[in-house]
Structure 1
Amino acid sequence: MSDPTTPESTETAGRVIVLDVVGLQPRHIDADRTPTLETYFPNDRVTDLRPPFPAVTVPVQTTLATGRGPDAHGDVSSGEYDRERDAVAFWERDRDGRDRLWETASDEAGLTTGVLNFQHLIGTSADVAVTPSPIEDENNDILEMNCWTNPDGFYDDLREELHHFPLHNYWGPGANEEGSSWILAAAREAIDRFDPDLLWIYVPHLDYVGQSDGPSSDAFAAELETVDDLLADFLAFVSGTDRWDETALTLVSEYGFHDVDRPLFPNRALREAGLLETTADGDVDISVSDAFAMVDHQIAHVYANEGAVGAAREALAGLAGVDAVLDESGKAERGIDHPNAGDFVLVAEPNAWFQYYWWDDRANAPPYATEMDIHAKPGFDPCELFFGDEGLVSLDASKVSGSHGRVDESAVGCFGLGGPAAPALAGDGPVDATDVTPTLAELLGVEGALSMAFDGTSRLRQ
């Protein structure tokens, strides 16, 4: 077995394993807190990763896996507003026409590819895929836990070996290391059964404490050790496999966190201005509203009817804690000038974040506000990480201590190469998120076989 601390310079790798460890930054990798990561990805093999704007899950994931920015691929938030239907949907699970590296490398270059727990996987052509897809009733209540997989029946095998995917530990008040542990165990099964040439693994564990307690907390420092322990078991397994000598490990993180102490409520301001309307049960009625804000951490896309944009901007002009209001030129400057983006976009100050609430009195909150109902809420709700006094989920936005979405030097992600088949990185500067897919394509030796157009470039030094 090769020494993981001494990567060799090779033209291509026979196998690439991507560890997508959300919330990890280069400064977190050291011999004391994360000795496993420091062993496989020493300091000279890791650099900053600059996420696209906004630095939230779906835009960053799509950029990492396509090599294109949000202005090209159109994922401008983890939610989507359908202007024709006047409807917002967060965390929809279908592929919906997206072509990522694992699809094109499988379809066009003949590689065996795999991906675990990325967003928008249902319908992917990756040879191996796993994504949570619980069976729900018309009220989005879970009737039975399930995962959508390639190949068909793979979840049945995983369930026999690992039991059901622990959905309630993957997100919500009970979120803990069990979700990441199950994903990494499923990755071992994927390697044992299919041994894909490219395997992309989403490891969400730090995302929970990054939001609940913030990146400067003792709790975050403690969970760095936990995620390192999880990766230690997985990497010990990988380094014992037959293809280890031809394996390149890639470490990516989608974003870093900001410490926050200030929730902002743009929809309250729009309602007070008479621009946002609600139904009898307290839900927002987008179809009859002149404006509303689809919030996602530190970003808020504001959509307004024709003629109401000026009134919406005026209603939000005095909202303390807003750092920037992006008009058409501002959206273009930040690479988010796409029809899916809001008519204008709010960016919070570093210590602030946007919550979707439009009510002041809890008695006027919609029924789903205190429930785990990620698809019904027209905005991302980190309060789902806390148990509530009046339901499963807290309505106390002051509990949230971490957020992301701004693209600041203090909240970059990370990129690293390790393992016996990993060449060195070219250049000393940060890797742009658009550079990741072209770098992986070159590492796999398939860049010339793919029809994908990249905004970024490979960062390998052979």
Structure 2
Amino acid sequence: MARRAWHVHCQTVRRDPPRMASAFRTPGWTREAPPHPLHPGRRAMSESKPKTLVILAAALGWNLIEKHKPATKIAFRPVAPGPLSLTCPAQATLRPALPPSRHGIVASGFFHHDLARPYFWEQSAALVTGPRIWDAARAAGQTVGMAFWQQSLGERLDLVISPKPIHRHHGGIVMDCYTRPEPLYAELCADLGRRFDLFHYWGPLARAKVGRWISEATLKILARPDAPDHLFVYLPSLDYDLQRHGPDSPQAAAALLETISQIEPLIAAAEAQGREWLLTGDYAIEPVAPGDGAIFPNRILRAAGLFHTRETSKMLYPDFFTSRAFAIVDHQIAHIHVPDPANLPQVRDLLAAEPGIAEILDRAVQSERDIYFPERSGDLLLIAAPGRWFAYPWWTDPRHGPDYANQMDIHNKPGFDPCELFFGFPPPHTSQKTEKIRGTHGRAGPGHEIAAAGLFPEAKTFLDLATRLRSHLSPAS
């Protein structure tokens, strides 16, 4: 988000259709099937192969279902999560049915060594490596769509919709969604009578309204005669109040019921069309320990003289060019980058003395767990203890924080900042009080199962779900 993101000018931005590389061009199709009305270069799906709807719901954990026992006909079941229970790694795992060591997404951001800067919440599909689970279906003439997934821009798909605001050079943003075909967003806004509100998607104003918009827009897409044969949709809004109030709170129970109310119409529409469907969570949120559950690895490294800063107008900015160690954090996972291997023993000893850190994994152990990816993974990977999480700040005096510290800025911070879910003072500044965070995620293993329903009741793990979905989408299956 831009620093002055609250000065908003909403308008539709026109774009030229993206130029696709030859590897992403639509292959030739058989002549027997009629042209697809929305995608004239493709052919309609054979009626003998069922269509599918895949719903990925943020923070839909089995612990949430067991705790609150929502009244619903959806038959939930527990499934083991991926080894990194984070947003982008989970979404990336589902697309090629590969672990992080092969698809390359090891957090919702990464540090680019050549450019010496962090990148969070990037949208290019090229960041996710590996063949897609729908490639065979598209090669056979079937159509595939994706709504509101991260790293979906440039994906080999027939329909895409994703938030894509325009950041103005003088501050403020133009709210917009990227769609392919391009007119789709304007058509959905006209059908729904309202635009997609980015401030309901993330920040202090993030709320269930954004999930309702996505659910209703998905219903409109499914109702079109040119709806994709296979549609993937992401519902984000359950996550917000679970982080604000914790998964055991009354607010979490209400958020779960709200999310189920977004999901049930999608399942009903899919079944009415004869579509098969899969519903799955991506991670389970656990309660934060009483008090302040935050751990500050960059403060630890700075106090030891390993993390360097430069002072500008009394604000401390990171100096990644000269730092000997620094952390890129995402909830309960932290990637520690140590440019000179000679400093690794000192860094490891420093961090091992922090009681909130449960595990410190070197490259070899990360590789054994299928979570190490060259150039993106840290030399060390930290996993927080239960109820603890990693915060990115390196300063201790709020007056010395960089200008983005109290702003909703998801791209410049070297880590995910859940404090952006709260207002600071004065508004529209965001909070810097880590003690406000009551729910977190990232840890895997027993007790962190996600909830799933629909297809593949025999699947035991999230990766198994993805593998079975790949086989299911194959025309040869």
Q: TM-score range by the shorter chain?
A: 0.7 to 0.9
For residues 23-46 of structure 1, give each alpha carbon's deviation from its aligned partner in whole angstroms, at most 9, with x where no partner exists: 2234545898533xx42x32xxx4
User: Which residue number corresponds to residue 401 of structure 2?
Assistant: 365
SS in 1 for 2:195: coil
Q: Is the 8 A contact 1:265 1:356 kept in 2?
A: yes
Q: Is the 8 A contact 1:21 1:203 kept in 2?
A: yes
- Whether 1:327 aligns to 2:358 is no
Q: Choose which of 145, 161, 186 in structure 1 pairs with 2:217.
A: 186
Q: Distance in 2 between matches of 1:363 and 1:195?
A: 52
Equivalent pairs: percent with the same residue?
A: 33
User: Which residue number corresponds to residue 303 of structure 1?
Assistant: 337
Q: Distance in 2 between matches of 1:234 and 1:399?
A: 34
The code of the aligned residue for 1:412 comes to E
Q: Is the 8 A contact 2:106 2:372 kept in 1?
A: no
The code of the aligned residue for 1:375 comes to H
- Whether 1:116 aligns to 2:147 is yes
SS in 1 for 2:394: coil
- Whether 1:253 aligns to 2:281 is yes
- Whether 1:69 aligns to 2:99 is yes
Which stretch has the larger CA shift, 106-115 or 62-71?
A: 106-115
Q: Choose which of 461, 464, 467 in structure 2 pairs with 1:432.
A: 461
Deviation at 1:102, TM superposition (A): 6.3
Deviation at 1:308, TM superposition (A): 2.3
Q: Distance in 1 between matches of 2:114 and 2:126?
A: 17
The code of the aligned residue for 1:21 comes to A
For residues 44-63 of structure 1, give each alpha carbon's deviation from its aligned partner in whole angstroms, at most 9, with x where no partner exists: xx432222221111111111
Q: Is the 8 A contact 2:168 2:174 kept in 1?
A: no
SS in 1 for 2:161: strand
Backbone CA RMSD of aligned residues? 2.3
Distance 1:113 1:365, change over 3 A: same
- Whether 1:415 aligns to 2:452 is yes
- Whether 1:203 aligns to 2:235 is yes
SS in 2 for 1:326: strand
In structure 2, runs of 5+ residues without a counterpart are 1-47
Q: Distance in 2 between matches of 1:29 and 1:215?
A: 10
Q: Choose which of 25, 37, 47 in structure 1 pairs with 2:77.
A: 47
The code of the aligned residue for 2:283 comes to Y
Distance 1:47 1:304, change over 3 A: same
The code of the aligned residue for 2:241 comes to V
Q: Choose which of 155, 160, 170 in structure 1 pairs with 2:185.
A: 155
Q: Is the 8 A contact 2:146 2:232 kept in 1?
A: yes
- Whether 1:86 aligns to 2:116 is yes
SS in 1 for 2:307: coil
Distance 1:238 1:386, change over 3 A: same
User: Which residue number corresponds to residue 306 of structure 2?
Assistant: 275
Distance 1:26 1:322, change over 3 A: closer
- Whether 1:214 aligns to 2:240 is no
For residues 95-130 of structure 1, give each alpha carbon's deviation from its aligned partner in whole angstroms, at most 9, with x where no partner exists: 125356465245423211111110001112211111
SS in 1 for 2:317: coil
Deviating above 6 A after TM superposition, structure 1's stretches of 4 or more consecutive aligned residues are none
User: Which residue number corresponds to residue 417 of structure 2?
Assistant: 381
Distance 1:207 1:432, change over 3 A: same
Which stretch has the larger CA shift, 13-22 or 128-137?
A: 13-22
SS in 2 for 1:81: strand
Q: Distance in 1 between matches of 2:68 and 2:246?
A: 20
SS in 2 for 1:164: coil
Distance 1:300 1:15, change over 3 A: same
| Count of matched residue positions in the alignment of Structure 1 and Structure 2 | 419
- Whether 1:135 aligns to 2:166 is yes
Deviation at 1:227, TM superposition (A): 1.2
User: Which residue number corresponds to residue 259 of structure 2?
Assistant: 227
Deviation at 1:283, TM superposition (A): 1.8
Q: Is the 8 A contact 1:101 1:437 kept in 2?
A: no
Q: Is the 8 A contact 1:66 1:434 kept in 2?
A: no
Q: Is the 8 A contact 1:102 1:126 kept in 2?
A: no
User: Which residue number corresponds to residue 290 of structure 1?
Assistant: 324
TM-score computed with the length of structure 1 as normaliser: 0.85
Q: Is the 8 A contact 1:47 1:431 kept in 2?
A: no
The code of the aligned residue for 2:307 comes to L
Q: Distance in 2 between matches of 1:32 and 1:357?
A: 34
For residues 392-451 of structure 1, give each alpha carbon's deviation from its aligned partner in whole angstroms, at most 9, with x where no partner exists: 21000000011111103222112221xxxx5x633xxx6222222331233334366xxx
For residues 130-154 of structure 1, give each alpha carbon's deviation from its aligned partner in whole angstroms, at most 9, with x where no partner exists: 1000000347x44211111111221
Q: Is the 8 A contact 1:259 1:401 kept in 2?
A: yes
The code of the aligned residue for 2:262 comes to L
User: Which residue number corresponds to residue 165 of structure 1?
Assistant: 196
Q: Distance in 2 between matches of 1:269 and 1:84?
A: 25
- Whether 1:398 aligns to 2:439 is no
The code of the aligned residue for 2:150 comes to Q
Q: Distance in 2 between matches of 1:279 and 1:70?
A: 34
- Whether 1:444 aligns to 2:476 is no
TM-score computed with the length of structure 2 as normaliser: 0.83
Structure number with the higher helix fraction is: 1
Q: Is the 8 A contact 2:208 2:258 kept in 1?
A: yes
The code of the aligned residue for 1:249 comes to W
For residues 49-79 of structure 1, give each alpha carbon's deviation from its aligned partner in whole angstroms, at most 9, with x where no partner exists: 2222211111111112211001111111110
SS in 1 for 2:316: coil
Distance 1:30 1:217, change over 3 A: closer
The code of the aligned residue for 1:260 comes to V
Deviation at 1:80, TM superposition (A): 1.4
SS in 2 for 1:369: coil
For residues 341-397 of structure 1, give each alpha carbon's deviation from its aligned partner in whole angstroms, at most 9, with x where no partner exists: 100011100110000010000001011011111011110000011111245210000
User: Which residue number corresponds to residue 60 of structure 2?
Assistant: 24
Q: Is the 8 A contact 1:13 1:247 kept in 2?
A: no
